[in-house]
Structure 1
Amino acid sequence: MLNLRDEPVKAGTRFVRGEDKRGAVRLQRDTVGTIGVYVVCVLALFFSKFINPEFGSVHQLQTILTLASFLIVISYGQGLTVLIGGLDLSIPSVVTVGGILAAAWMSTLSPAGFWWQIPAVLVVCASIGVLNGLGVTLLRIPPFIMTLASGIIVYSICLGATGGTLSGSAPNSLSRLMTGRVGGVPMVNLFVVLFCATAVFVQSRTSFGQRLYAMGSNAAAAKIAGMRTNVITVCTYALSSAFAGFAGMMLVGYSNGATLRMGESYLLPSVAAVVIGGSSILGGRGTFVGTIGGAILLTIFDMVITSLGLAQGWRTMISGGLILAAILLQHDGALDWIRSTARRRA
């Protein structure tokens, strides 16, 4: 019989099974991993100065945070699905939906109508996630297959509805958000800081976040404990799609237009940022603080690749390599092996 005492007992990466001592070890590993991501970010900025002296300046840091803002928002939704042991491969198509609606629909509205229209666009995007969640929970379709199929269907609908030609421009309010400044600081940087603070609080300090960790760590125990796991799953995929759609709106405000492939470059990086940040691909462990670091690190690498004039394929290769390295380091014996090797050489 399932022992409910083995289920997680606290929000965040503290959700572990077994004795308190093992929990402390897991907490220490997660903390070290999160700190390690930011240490690598600092080192990457330092060595990148040899490529471009502008790296590391205040202006360059603002640019990095601006470019990372899209991936941070998308990765938060992706991280929530990974936290419950799922995956959202429909993100590129949902980003496109958000961008298309922002450019072709919202740009025709008056400033007064703009603000109530934002939730309307997010509801349209979230409905795609609801369908994903229902397919995973009711039809028992694996998340990989369900979200991949829905992404293809949504993209096909966008292609058919637009005929491959998109019209419209960015609404003034979105343009101000992405390109405006407040006291010399980009407005989008202030937005990202506020978004990250809110997201960290929701994921680690609310009952909803606790339920996500519980489901990812032990779904059967969570269900026996009375949690409505199907509802939580549907809500999680809906949130993932809503954040992807909002990132599409941000992209329109930044580039003043939408394209049918505007979300394609964010699928693998969204998974990479989550895994590099210390989240377990099997669910139940990870923090958004680490995911933020992963997104910033990938953005730095992308800017270095651009500075060197290398092909964009290098970004994909680096993302894949970092995912593999992060997964290997998450193995229970990986850190112990690294410590023992370091001690022998010392």
Structure 2
Amino acid sequence: MTSARIESTDTRQAAPVNDVATDHRKSSRVSRETLNIVGVFMLCVLALLAAKWINPNAGGYQQLETILILCSFLVVVAFGQGLVVLIGGLDLSIPSVITLGGILTAVWVGADGGVLKTCAVLGVCAVVGVVNGLGIGVFKVPAFIMTLAMGIIVYSLCLGATGGSPNGVSPKAFIWLMSGRVAGIPVIVLFTVVGAVIAFIVQSRTRFGTRLYALGSNPTAARFAGLHTLRLTVMTYALCAVLAGITGMLLVGYSNGATLRMGDPYLLPSVAAVVIGGSSISGGRGSFIGTLAGALLLTILDMIISSLGFSQGWRTVISGAIILLAILLQHEGAMDWLRSLRHSKRKT
């Protein structure tokens, strides 16, 4: 009798959270986030036109193909970061996990490695994410501190194990994935398209995605509604680590080797792509399509910066400025200030 009463109470409490998450995705996201996504894609077009103006040889099919290939790395890692941000977290261990996945792929999997060795590499990466999730969910360590510490630990282990010079060779399967073609289309582009469809379904059309929205919107309400918040947190960070490991594998196939700094260029862009795409840094709001648009825009901007001859330092500065601007535009105070400024101009 008591268990039945508790069960009915959980059911009544769970409904509001699910309804809030569903309503949130069907109302506010449809209006504000859809406009944001359309705006980002329009910026991508403008950026391509600007690249064409800067360099008349730019904008051809070959260059568009290169943009899509380079964008594929960021799309994979940004999807994982986006899931973490969706629950109100942040994963700063991503660069080290990318490096870990790349080094283990080159050393363990080797040229003729099979599926089992590949899964073993992803399993090791997942362990890093599980530790992150447990530290944040059980011991209440702030995500910033926990993931930063794990990133330092993982990088130090990679440095100690390789002596600073990773060995090994790229698996033939990943080399084909990055350089092969099917019907004239690069295999990695097809892989990214299929992965993007799966990512969209996972984040927006599954119970797991709905629970992540609920957890990010109101962790306390989600817990009272009967959601296993610790399990969701651990699963999210583990999935983020696995996606970072996959990114490392792809980079090994692309560059035909692994380096200790191969993951460093993806920390700021992974956050920037998520924020530019309309996700709230405090959690509870975001979409994968927005993240995809943000990744594409950042890749195009990086291409423009490279064509202008700017150094890597300036690229980092620009990425940081983009993140700051996107966060400011999302802040309600900034939006109110812009509206008041617009109204004052109309009056004058």
Fold match by TM threshold 0.5: yes
Distance 1:340 1:89 in 2: 37
Distance 2:57 2:21 in 1: 40
CA contact (8 A) 1:15 1:214 kept: no
1:147 corresponds to 2:147? yes
| 1:119-268 alignment, distance < 5 Å | 119-268=119-268
Structure 1 residue 60: deviation in Å? 1.5
Which 5+ residue runs of structure 2 have no aligned equivalent?
1-11
Distance 2:48 2:341 in 1: 28
Aligned Cα root-mean-square deviation (Å):
1.9
* Partner of residue 37, structure 1: 40
Distance 2:293 2:129 in 1: 26
SS at match of 2:332: coil
* Partner of residue 107, structure 1: 110
SS at match of 1:71: helix
1:273 corresponds to 2:266? no
SS at match of 1:54: coil
Distance 2:29 2:96 in 1: 36
Moved more, 47-56 or 271-280: 47-56
Distance 1:8 1:337 in 2: 33
> How many residues in Structure 1 have an aligned counterpart in Structure 2?
334
CA contact (8 A) 1:11 1:209 kept: no
TM-score, normalization by structure 2? 0.91
Distance 1:239 1:36 in 2: 29
* Partner of residue 97, structure 1: 100
Structure 1 residue 24: deviation in Å? 3.5
Structure 1 residue 207: deviation in Å? 0.1
Distance 1:57 1:335 in 2: 38
Structure 1 residue 345: deviation in Å? 4.8
Q: Which amino acid aligns with 1:288?
A: F
* Partner of residue 303, structure 1: 303
SS at match of 2:53: coil
Q: Which amino acid aligns with 1:284?
A: G
CA 1:128–1:42 in 2, change beyond 3 Å: closer, same or farther?
A: same
* Partner of residue 59, structure 1: 62
CA 1:10–1:115 in 2, change beyond 3 Å: closer, same or farther?
A: farther
Q: Which amino acid aligns with 1:88?
A: D
CA contact (8 A) 1:170 1:256 kept: yes
Structure 1 residue 340: deviation in Å? 5.4
CA contact (8 A) 1:85 1:284 kept: yes
Structure 1 residue 343: deviation in Å? 6.0
1:163-196 deviation digits (Å, cap 9, x = unpaired): 1111112111000001111111111000000000
Distance 1:159 1:167 in 2: 12
* Partner of residue 19, structure 1: none
CA contact (8 A) 2:179 2:187 kept: yes
Moved more, 170-179 or 309-318: 309-318
1:63-112 deviation digits (Å, cap 9, x = unpaired): 1010011111000101111000001000011000100011111115x3xx
CA contact (8 A) 2:277 2:290 kept: yes
1:25-53 deviation digits (Å, cap 9, x = unpaired): 55411111111111111111111101222
CA contact (8 A) 2:17 2:225 kept: no
Moved more, 190-199 or 114-123: 114-123
CA contact (8 A) 1:301 1:315 kept: no
Distance 1:249 1:100 in 2: 8
* Partner of residue 9, structure 1: 19
Distance 2:298 2:326 in 1: 13
TM-score, normalization by structure 1? 0.92
1:137-180 deviation digits (Å, cap 9, x = unpaired): 11111110000001101111111111111111211100000111
Q: Which amino acid aligns with 1:220?
A: T
CA contact (8 A) 1:170 1:253 kept: yes
